[in-house]
Amino acid sequence: MTLGRTSHRPRPVDPVTLKILVAGGFGVGKTTLVGAVSEIRPLRTEERLSEAGRPVDDVDGVEEKTTTTVAMDFGRITLREDLVLYVFGTPGQDRFWFLWDELAQGALGAVVLADTRRLADSFAAVDYFERRGIPFTVAVNCFEGADRFPGETVRAALDLDPEVPLVMCDARERESVKEVLVTVVEHALNRAERHRRHAVT
């Protein structure tokens, strides 16, 4: 009996999955960003803003906002056949920050989404990731009608370390968001490599 020739098909590659957080102030566009880039229907935990919440929810500059994230947003994007990102959007208001520690566990890196109309709202997220040593990228969401500032002006206003990437983006546009996520991944991996070399030497 003769055996036929067997075809050797390449085995499918198990993708590496990485976790990325998206943080920032109230109304900065985190839910929009996750929804724009996700290849699955994003999980959202939004509730309508109520009169009872107005004393604690600062809507100056985002008066048109009618809902808020109360737990997280979740989406997924395949950057390459062997690389999948799980993207978690954090709630923006102070009273939900206790959730950040849970969401941050196992994260490779983070995006701090900023709005030049309310730039001070980004300080808490920048401080959070700096204190915990989580690599992050600042992405300025370019809202229509908002003043445009050079990147170096925003960097100085946020007092960012020189190594922290800062990019402009449109949280509604998938390709723009993908570029932000690629920047985060590259920054986190480069930093990990620098730390590894430092540890060896």
- Cβ-Cβ contacts under 8 Å for 35 (sequence gap 6 or more): 42, 44, 73, 75
Band (pLDDT 50/70/90 cuts) for residue 145 is confident
6, pLDDT greater than 90: no
pTM for the structure as a whole: 0.80
Coil/strand/helix, residue 85:
strand
Q: Left, alpha or beta for 167 (phi > 0: left; psi -120 to 50: alpha)?
A: beta
Helix pair angle (174-200, 30-37), 10° resolution: 90
- Confidence band of 9 (pLDDT split at 50, 70, 90): low
What was the pLDDT predicted at 71? 57
pLDDT in tens, 98-122: 788 988 999 999 999 999 999 999 9
Q: Which amino acid is at 179?
A: E
- Band the pLDDT of 91: cuts 50, 70, 90: confident
**What are the beta bridge partners of residue 22?**
89, 111
Domains and CATH numbers, the chain: 16-200 (3.40.50.300)
Phi, psi (deg, nearest 5) at residue 44 = -125, 145
Average pLDDT over residues 169-180: 97
- Residue 13 φ/ψ, nearest 5 degrees: -85, 130
**Please, are residues 75 and 67 in contact by the beta-carbon 8 Å criterion?**
no
pLDDT tens readout for residues 128-144: 999 999 999 999 999 88
What confidence score (pLDDT) does residue 67 get? 52
Tens-place pLDDT, residues 20-35: 999 998 889 999 999 9
Which 8-state DSSP code applies to residue 176? H
Within 57-173, where are the H helices? 100-104, 123-132, 151-158
Q: What are the helix and strand counts (H, E) for the chain?
A: 5, 7
39-43, 137-141, 175-179: segment of lowest average pLDDT: 39-43
Q: Compute the mean pLDDT over every residue in the chain, rounded to the nearest whole number.
A: 84
pLDDT value for 42 = 86
Q: Once rounded to an integer, what is the mean pLDDT over residues 82-106?
A: 84
pLDDT of 27: 87
- In this prediction, residue 93 has a pLDDT band, given cuts at 50, 70 and 90, of low
